[in-house]
Amino acid sequence: MVAKLAHSAARDPCATCDARHLSVCNAVPDVELGRLAAIATVIDVPAGQSFIDEGEPARAFFNVTAGTAKLFKLLPDGRRQITGFVSTGHFLGLAVSDTYAFSAEAIEPLRCCRFPRARLRTLLDDFPLMEKRLLEVAANELVAAQEQMLLLGRKTARERLASFLLLQSRQGAPCGEARRRFVMPMTRGDIADYLGLTIETVSRTLTRLRSDQLIDFASQSEVVITSPTALEQLAGGLTSIA
Amino acid sequence: MVAKLAHSAARDPCATCDARHLSVCNAVPDVELGRLAAIATVIDVPAGQSFIDEGEPARAFFNVTAGTAKLFKLLPDGRRQITGFVSTGHFLGLAVSDTYAFSAEAIEPLRCCRFPRARLRTLLDDFPLMEKRLLEVAANELVAAQEQMLLLGRKTARERLASFLLLQSRQGAPCGEARRRFVMPMTRGDIADYLGLTIETVSRTLTRLRSDQLIDFASQSEVVITSPTALEQLAGGLTSIA
DNA sequence: GCAAATCGTTGATCTGGATCAATGCGTCCC
DNA sequence: GGGACGCATTGATCCAGATCAACGATTTGC
């Protein structure tokens, strides 16, 4: 179901990786990149296909090199909570337990590196700098998770959408610089499941934000922020730059 | 405001620490405990007093050795989201940013060790095992945070209380063993701010759980779980043992 | 070119939990 | 002993967002 590109096919994949400067892999010195490449398998996942299943044995870590995926948890009756969207440079599978704590599904064609758990652990022993980077990454995600708890527990629908739009406007821009115009690759349903709302409420709230002149749409998925300050005010002051 | 006990007062505080086996400090070998103790300051915080303020410069890490605290974030208008309760053995302040991402306030008399950020960093370089333990801790908290997002985004009030009661029943019991009877040190207001509900809803929902014979109260803060299986069912299947 | 999906918007109605309000119950302190 | 304060419970009412329902727009496949 998931296309595996033998890593022998590409020579020196890590050395030429576009995503390296964005990811934890930059903790591995150039001369050692071969060792990293030796345990990595490049995987392509088509849009709509899942590549991590909650509850399954966690055999591997992943590092996204292109595309976007959603991470989510399900309740027995099918209610879904998306816990995050991940794109280029994002490291996946930190959970120490022996089973995955969430599922992951590509929402755009996705390319990522797959590292068998045991082998990466061994590698980490040799590159303490990479372990340090992982701790940094985990700490940042923890901060973002707390911010999301505040959103889910205490913000109104309008405030949630404002927060989400601002987060998306920073997505991919490395230094936290906010773009005024950007494409959201996820559906309204995904946004709803991320914000703890329904599709209808997301749609209605976006419509109202537009009629209130805070945002505009270039297309269904391309947003223009027309009033960044008003949107930030709405989002609840300084949303953490996580 | 916060009582500081000079570490010179207690001799060999880390070697005799009750909380050591529960915390990341157990990654430091016995013979090196002196170095750990040298940078730690023991602090006592009375109930109701805060010792970390969101937005303030993050100068220190903390390790709880006794008592309980709540961690929370505020919106400008005062709405509060409690992101977690921490007790003996819990490590605080992982956020890499230079300011704290949350506030912390004791809900029971609290004792903890304070480590200046810079000095602990240096120490971590010498004890990679401790860094590994921190990564483990962070990964576990991330899993718990995702579980909480599912709760806040998608569970009903009744399901939230069921999940919370089960979590509390495991609190402090190291191997995830659930106690049938336990004391909850936090107020209804704290529970409400943790579950994204109001005080009234928490109170009503607990009353209903009792009249439905799922739980009982020995006192206002002491709970007895009379039907663990029904409660687990309600909570949404296997709540992660984080 | 035209079903058949899929996704998004909009309207009407309903409801779980919020809000507003009153009362009970310890416990602390004169 | 008795206010007074903080915490919890309970009742009455309200409303933001869910649910139910219809329809429009875009894409997919034949």
Which residues of chain B lie closer than 8 angstroms to A80, CB-CB?
154
Q: Is the pLDDT of residue A207 over 90?
A: yes
At residue B37, the pLDDT reads 87
Q: Are A68 and A85 in contact (CB under 8 A)?
A: yes
Q: Is the pLDDT of residue A135 over 80?
A: yes
A75–B146 C-beta distance less than 8 A = no
Contact status of A196 with chain B (Cβ, < 8 Å): yes
In this prediction the pTM is: 0.93
Counting Cβ atoms within 10 Å, is residue B200 exposed (0-12), middle (13-18) or buried (19+)?
exposed
CA distance A139 to chain B (A): 5
Write out the E strands in A18-170.
Answer: 41-45, 50-52, 60-66, 68-74, 80-87, 91-92, 103-106, 110-116
User: Is B204's CB less than 7 Å from nucleic acid strand C?
Assistant: no
pLDDT digit string (tens) for A73-114? 999 999 999 999 999 999 998 877 789 999 999 999 999 999
Q: Mean pLDDT throughout A125-140?
A: 90
Neighbour tally for A66: CB within 10 Å: 16
Most A CBs within 10 A among B81, B129, B158, B194, hence the mutation to make, goes to B81
At residue B239, the pLDDT reads 47
CA distance A224 to chain B (A): 26
Out of A83, A138, A155, whose CB is closest to B149? A83
3-class SS string, A112-135 = EEEEEHHHHHHHHHHCHHHHHHHH
User: Is B146's CB less than 7 Å from nucleic acid strand D?
Assistant: no
User: Is A2's CB less than 7 Å from nucleic acid strand C?
Assistant: no
Query: Hey, which residues 205-224 in chain A have their CB within 8 Å of chain B?
Result: none
- Amino acid A213 CA to nucleotide C14 C1' distance, rounded Å: 31
Most A CBs within 10 A among B73, B127, B140, B190, hence the mutation to make, goes to B73
Q: Mean pLDDT throughout A208-221?
A: 94
User: Is B199's CB less than 7 Å from nucleic acid strand D?
Assistant: yes
Computed over every residue of chain A, the mean pLDDT equals 89
At residue B7, the pLDDT reads 47
At residue B240, the pLDDT reads 45
What chain B residue is nearest to A153 in terms of C-alpha separation? B196
% residues pLDDT > 90 (chain A): 67
Q: Is the pLDDT of residue A219 over 50?
A: yes
- How is residue A196 written in tokens? 């703890």
Please state, in angstroms and rounded to a whole number, the distance separating the CA atoms of residues A174 and A172: 6
Confidence at A241, pLDDT banded by 50, 70, 90: very low
Out of B102, B154, B240, whose CB is closest to A101? B240
State the Rg of chain A over Cα.
Answer: 19
With a cut of 70, which residues of chain B have pLDDT below it? Answer: 1-11, 174-176, 237-242
Q: Are A78 and B150 in contact (CB under 8 A)?
A: no
Q: Are A153 and B195 in contact (CB under 8 A)?
A: yes
At residue A11, the pLDDT reads 60
At residue B140, the pLDDT reads 92
Contact status of B99 with chain A (Cβ, < 8 Å): no
Angle among Cα B162, B228, A146 to the nearest 5 degrees reads 30
Confidence at A35, pLDDT banded by 50, 70, 90: confident
User: Is A206's CB less than 7 Å from nucleic acid strand C?
Assistant: yes
Give chain D positions with protein CB within 7 A: 7-12, 16-21
Please state, in angstroms and rounded to a whole number, the distance separating the CA atoms of residues A33 and A163: 38
Tell me the longest C-alpha to C-alpha distance in chain A: 56
At residue B242, the pLDDT reads 40
Give chain C positions with protein CB within 7 A: 7-12, 16-21
Q: Is the pLDDT of residue A242 over 50?
A: no
At residue B237, the pLDDT reads 64
At residue A4, the pLDDT reads 54
